[in-house]
Structure 1
């Protein structure tokens, strides 16, 4: 159950609650009349996970047999040159099985594991590919999965089948008990027998107890199956997916792409602002001054009026250049830090904004700039879209992270997944290992919490 969020600004001295408490706004979950324990045996997830465990046995037998046979053959042939390509073929086959296992986990367990990077051959040709396969840690992890998954699949298959079949068989015992007196010549299911004494489950009380025990098994089996598939999830993600280093490199490459695109967009914006604003105004100013120069001798009063108008245009051009420079990097941020810079931004907002900055020192300049422009963009959104009457900006440090929170009492409904400006802001923060969390139910209020690395 999601916790209710109290939208009261954090006061100085109060401990900060982690950002996990702020849940992104989304559609409300469907309520169920039955509790989860009673729904579990009939949910699609339970049957998918059970199907995964049942399929794991034949798949693991095939994979284990292939891996052991090919690996043993390759090791035995290492005394000749043939052992090396056989080992490479064994690892390549394991990688192919791994792709199938990732697809099976994606379909039945809803576990989306990224494909590892393909084999990198330094040069073209078969031997270069063989060397790439043998040097790839991913290939050896696929072989390890083939060896480890087989005993686990046997265990999980036996446990799942036993609990599932016994649970449903005992639970439905009152429905099929008639088979014993009709076809077996006995009162019911035999519980004990030694030739002299026989105990059958045939009385109403015994039948009810048997069905009750079956019900307990039936209700417990989905959670047991879920626990078994958690091990499979860990094995697939840990052994068949990309390594942590490769994932980190991919994240950094993606973050670098976001930074490059953002920088290019900023340059285009600056060029457009200069071309349409200050540059056009300066061109017009130069033309006016040229005309004033021509009229200076024949009509001094008209020339004076034109110079006075040009003086006004110069002031406007200077204001536009000052605004443009502030958009690139404000001087107040460099000279006085986030407190003064954010106070200046808040003073230009269309709603009253209270700013609280509690920092023991200044973070890295790059992080400080990202925090400044992020808060500026959030305040612009409040001015344009929130229909709020007040807002709050809080900035503080917790351990090695710079935190800021922007709250308004507007109409809410902000959603990062909608592809709005918040999505671009989240991408920019993610490019520097930052996090953006939005809590904005329809009707408000809206709370945007972000954290950035301190890096000082």
Structure 2
């Protein structure tokens, strides 16, 4: 039993070593050309910014390619070695001018961290990725020399073949090379997975955000959570006030009417009948107010049919022509759906009240773990966060779920508001 277990462990370690060797070889073969290309394109593009502004058009494209390359390395680090490399890119303005995206990218510390990582990946990163494969391949070369490869080389060139520090000029020295190859093979057996892990640890050391950036991220999340708590408390007070001034007052009045009806039932049946009609109307009004209150908390159509149909129902109540496009393969968590629904509701209300528009477009789709919602109107533009348009409240609502809000609203329009919420669909 112990022998079988030991044999299984040796086989597993050998497979892991071979797998790490193959992965390192593929990584070194593929990543070096792409790293050189991404770095060259980025540097040239940034250098062209002062030259007639040409770089303003190409820099976002080049840096987006760099970010995609870095994200793929993050995925491989997590998948192959279980090393998590956090991403801390700042949100970019959607649908904005190229110079705005270029400025936002160049202001992001993660951009310069990516460029530094490309330099490291082309040098030390390349070597640490190649070493796992080099140990195994170099060992194979040593065994090939012992099998007679040295004769082919000697007959072809007439020179001595050097294997590491061993000059191979005969079968005896070829066997010495094979012994050295066995040492390399043993080293590869034990250390190849560790070498591949070292490559990704080096990647994490360069790509991972600094403590300052993480602290800033925590500060922003703390503020958004605090805003969410304040908003929730204000919402509870509103519900309490609406219940006290609305449905509760009507129910109290209805109770008083029923008491009066009880006293008048024998003395003045006609008056009792009038009060009964009034009590029935009060009950209907109280029920309507309760339904409106519940709809304001969580619309039934949202709970029953999901975000897409809820937004469509919202659009049908708009006084403007509103076109809704939905590409969702499932449903997000209820809190995320609720936040997205009320954010869209606020944006549609803003468009109706302030934009002087005659048409609105709403687009909802989910991609790469992000729920993206775009609300566009053909109004007069000029919308901005914090300018009394309600966008600041929408931003706080989304911030509770680590979401972002981007606004593009030049004077004269159109206005495009993009929201992104990280979530998975069921």
Q: TM-score, normalised by structure 1?
A: 0.46
Compare the two structures and name the one with the higher helix fraction. Answer: 2
Greater RCO, CA 8 A, separation 6+: 1
